[in-house]
Copies of this chain bind each other. A is one copy, B any other.
Amino acid sequence: MVLIEGVTLMNDYTPRPEDKFSFGIWTVGWQGVDVFGPATRAPMPAERAVRKLAELGAYGVNFHDNDVFAFEATPAEREERVGAFRKALDETGLVVTTATTNLFSHPIFKDGAFTSNDRDVRRFALRKVMDNIDLAASLGAQIYVAWGGREGAESGAAKDVKAALDRYKEAFDVLGSYVLDQGYDLRFAIEPKPNEPRGDILLPTIGHALAFIAELEHPELVGLNPEVGHEEMAGLNYAHGLAQALWHGKLFHIDLNGQHGPRYDQDLRFGAGNTRGAFWVVDLIDSSDYDGPVHFDFKPPRTEDDKGVWASAAANMRNWLILREKVRAFRADPDVIEALAQARVPELAQPTLAPGEDWRSVRDFTPDIDALAARGAAFEHLDQLALEHLYGTR
């Protein structure tokens, strides 16, 4: 590591509250059930997840209603489970940054929730969300994530997509009015995903969700919760997607993990998967005005026991901190600054038209074509500098 003036190098990678690291209760609690096999780990009560995450240095948690209590819980059971959860939160000081509803596990949601063909399911889904919004608000959550995992189809005639988008909009409009009427300080964050568990899922990417939001009654209440793996399952550049979400002012939350391109949803720990992609994600977020939770939505592989779960969980935060140190060194490196200038990266921030110009100013613009054609973009040198910061050899 070249020491660069003005950059404070961290001596360790210990998570601190100001890092705002958070985890889904369901992440460390995943028992390893998949299509091909049952659980390899014991169930984990939400309060245990809270306590262990606190020990590891996390700042907050996100939860589905049914991470805390079972779908079938009686009111008494629900109360008991919520109480244990709340107690653990209180004792550890962990913040509920975010909450969400499980609208994808129970068989009634097999064709979706907000866009199920079955109207009763849609009506019940709204009620289930309202129930958990109340709990979320009481726990202080400010972001309410909406992942529509079963909103989709395996076959063409089964879903009228335009009608489904009408219903999807209706759901957010109803829930928006609920939150406003209740006076909750809560905004929604849609989490796009292209497929799995449905053949094709509605609002499959960051872009589709951004466009959708613009049609809502209260677009200001709804933003995005993009997940690394979900975008990379479509072969899309996650950092580019985040940048567009930021550009629209809609990056409300992030879900960090790892993935190896188009295949099943791997939910590897952050840092595993596309390592260079992770570098650019941290670079983007660290230099942006995003100040929400740095949230991890991963699954400790089914091979791991409880010890492995926590090793995996801790590594998410550690990798963020390591990468944050690297991206700061990268941006402060004089060679990088010079290489960016050579690659004309800052020139892109300069408007194409000068103040006062309009189309007339360029109507007959004729540059020196041969000179522009011959000019190299100098991107390879710049990218190699970045890679060497990732390697830690600069």
Contact = CB atoms under 8 A, between A and B. Distances in A.
A185 interface: no
Nearest to A384: B315
Given A322-B391, A369-B108, A384-B315, A197 B161 contact: no
B126 A352 contact: yes
B392 A393 contact: yes
A318 to B, nearest CB: 8
Most B-side CB within 10 Å, residue of A121, A170, A276: A276
Interface in A78-124: 104-111, 114-124
Interface string A224-244: 000000000111110111011
A128 to B, nearest CB: 9
Interface string A264-303: 1110110111111001100100000000000000001111
B211 A167 contact: no
Interface in A125-160: 126-127, 130, 149-150, 153-160
Interface string A302-346: 111111100110010011001100100010000010011001110
B157 A345 contact: yes
B263 A304 contact: no
A388 B236 CA distance: 26
Contacts of A235: 194-195, 233-235, 260-263
B105 A161 contact: no
B377 A308 contact: yes
A314 to B, nearest CB: 9
A19 interface: no
Contact of A156 (B108, B153, B239, B392): B239
Most B-side CB within 10 Å, residue of A117, A156, A197, A386: A156
Nearest to A124: B367
A306 B185 CA distance: 45
B365 A40 contact: no
Nearest to A352: B122
A179 to B, nearest CB: 9
A375 B305 contact: yes
